[in-house]
Amino acid sequence: MDQTVLVTGGAGFIGSHTVLELLQAGFDVIVLDNFLNSDPSVLARIKRLAQEPLSLGLSFKHFEMDVRDEAGLIEVFKAHRIAGVIHFAGLKAVAESFEQPLAYWDTNVGGTMALARVMKRFDVNHLVFSSSALVYGLPKLIPIQENSELDAVNPYGRTKLICEKFLTDVCFADSRFNVALLRYFNPVGAHSSGLLGESPNGIPNNLMPLVCQVASGERAQLSIFGDDYDTADGTCIRDYIHVMDLAQGHVLTLKSMLGLLSLPALSRLSVLNFGTGQGVSVKELVDCFEAVNRVKVPHSIAPRRDGDVPILVANPNKAFESLGWKANRNLISMCQDAWRWQQQNGLHL
Ligand code: NAD
Ligand code: UDP
């Protein structure tokens, strides 16, 4: 296809699966990552899984670099003809964002600004941005549509919201600039080979990696944050989406922006939810994980977590209408694939 995509944060959880899908789709890929929350060995695993497309001559490079390093970015953009950028690099833990707001604003907002500046300088005009369902704050209507009110309730969510607004302004001011703001709900699961998955450095913050670590005995028990929410079983409800479905959604988004889909191209500024449309409570996820994997996940009820939203479920219709995308993998696959990854690799490579 002879089109090069720059993927910031491409060694991370969603990034690594997306890079694999981009290579399978015939794109040349450049990964830019500082490995703050990933391990460089993931790149060799991607190569192994993408042997076939790589044997046809595709290019797959990486740069160990901070996305805020503007001088470094300039060198990368100078040396390559980049067709589009997928920007995953960032910090993503709600609790940590209360403790370290400076780091969150600096990395998430500063990184996005540095990247946009360099993209404009080199006339690279297609950007896919990793946003989050957290920009909806405490939604009034479930399932949530893209045109719902926006009002993030924690520092991490606020950094995503401000990046969305910043990129919207850039788009309004420059008719050549195209942005897709992708609002992910809760990505979980792993590649079915067990070679790619989620491997956070240190103690994970998200539910699924914690469930995996408890099931494997690496951690004694799971704390369920609150069982007094206004939901059927009292625990929070989320819309869990398999990371491979999400990765495929990124490829379709980029193809649409580059005019490579048979459907009409996305508008210059598009906002898309990526979720399944199905709500699952914390207890339901734990029960499903135990049942399909035949393991125990000892758990107890703990106080509510600051900044948690009771229910977040997507209306994913717009992604279907504009890209023909829908989630194909169910909660059972998410639990099985996450557990296979845990068993084959542990969370620490
Ligand atoms: P991740 O931590 O696994 O991946 C992020 C990658 O970015 C890591 O490889 C990390 O090393 C890298 N990185 C961090 N700071 C960097 C910097 N300053 N310069 C260069 N690289 C840097 O996270 P993920 O789950 O793959 O999330 C990817 C994106 O999606 C993030 O922007 C996140 O906010 C967003 N998102 C994630 C979720 C989720 O639940 N996983 C939900 C909504 C949105
Ligand atoms: N959760 C939990 N225990 C944990 C981690 C998470 O009960 O140790 C709950 C959390 O309160 C939320 C859901 O699991 O309701 C998903 O949390 P996660 O951090 O994975 O994603 P979020 O939707 O908060 O970004």
Count the Cβ atoms, other than its own, within 10 Å of residue 303. 9
pLDDT of 251 higher than 50: yes
pLDDT of 129 higher than 60: yes
Count the Cβ atoms, other than its own, within 10 Å of residue 324. 12
Q: Which two tokens stand for residue 63?
A: 């740069």
Q: Are 33 and 89 in contact (CB under 8 A)?
A: yes
- 104 assigned to active site: no
Count the Cβ atoms, other than its own, within 10 Å of residue 122. 16
Q: Are 90 and 111 in contact (CB under 8 A)?
A: yes
Q: Are 48 and 78 in contact (CB under 8 A)?
A: no
Name the phi and psi angles at 85, rounded to 5.
-130, 135
Which whole number is the average pLDDT over 149-154?
A: 94
pLDDT of 2 higher than 50: yes
How many angstroms separate the Cα of 58 from the Cα of each of 249, 256, 334? 21, 21, 30
Domains and CATH numbers, the chain: 4-189+241-274 (3.40.50.720), 207-237+277-345 (3.90.25.10)
Please tell me if the CB atom of residue 187 comes closer than 6 angstroms to any atom of ligand 1. yes
Total-model pTM? 0.97
pLDDT digits (tens, 9 = 90+) for 168-218: 999 999 999 999 999 999 999 999 999 999 988 788 889 999 999 999 999
pLDDT of 348 higher than 70: no
pLDDT score at 306: 81
From the CA of 208, the nearest ligand is 2
Q: How far is the CA of 206 from the centre of ligand 2 (A)?
A: 6
pLDDT score at 346: 60
Q: How far is the CA of 115 from the centre of ligand 1 (A)?
A: 15
**pLDDT bracket for residue 349 (50, 70, 90):** very low
User: How would you write 66-117 as a 3-class SS string?
Assistant: CCCCHHHHHHHHHHCCEEEEEECCCCCCHHHHHHCHHHHHHHHHHHHHHHHH
Nearest-atom index, ligand 2, CA of 185: 23
pLDDT score at 308: 86
